[in-house]
């Protein structure tokens, strides 16, 4: 790549290449080096190949960690939803149990089932051990 270019055979030399043209030519040259493998033969690349592979490994681990965290987050949201459902079910069952175990309901159910049981008129007595 040079700063002076010849336009055509019969015209004058161009004194200056525009920065846009120079950037485009540099980009084209870089792409050619990448595609034909010359960039891998460069001394700087060969000396730092271990570091480049290390950075590649770190990048892969970073992406894998992101996917793993996303999966864990989805699982956490699902478990929280199930916990809320179970909490509601627990509250519902506890209220049903309180309703069923009230004294009036127990007496009514005993009477309806035809059992010959009566309510004790004496209060319960605590038995202490010495």
Range in 9-13, 92-96, 99-103 with the lowest mean pLDDT: 9-13
**pTM for this prediction:** 0.49
Q: What is the largest CA-CA distance in the chain?
A: 129
Residue 110 exposed, middle or buried by CB count within 10 Å (0-12, 13-18, 19+):
middle
Q: What percent of the chain has pLDDT over 90?
A: 40
Model confidence over 97-115: pLDDT tens digits?
999 999 889 888 888 888 8
> Residue 62 and residue 55: Cα distance in Å, rounded?
10
> Residue 5 and residue 24: Cα distance in Å, rounded?
15
**Tell me, what's the pLDDT at 1?**
46
On the question of pLDDT at 78 being above 90, the answer is yes
What is the torsion angle, in degrees rounded to the nearest 10, for the CA atoms of residue 101, residue 105, residue 108 and residue 110?
-10
């Amino acid at each position: 790549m040079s700063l002076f270019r010849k336009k055509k055979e019969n015209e004058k030399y161009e004194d200056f290449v525009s920065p846009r043209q120079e950037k485009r030519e540099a980009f084209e040259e870089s792409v050619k080096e990448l595609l034909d493998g010359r960039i891998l033969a460069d001394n700087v690349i060969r000396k730092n190949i271990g570091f480049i592979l290390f950075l590649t490994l770190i990048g892969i681990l970073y992406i894998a960690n992101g996917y793993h965290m996303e999966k864990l987050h989805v699982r956490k949201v699902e478990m929280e939803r199930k916990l809320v459902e179970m909490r509601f079910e627990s509250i519902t069952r506890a209220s049903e149990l309180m309703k069923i175990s009230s004294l009036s309901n127990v007496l009514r159910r005993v009477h309806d089932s035809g059992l010959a049981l009566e309510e004790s008129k004496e209060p319960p007595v605590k038995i202490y051990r010495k």
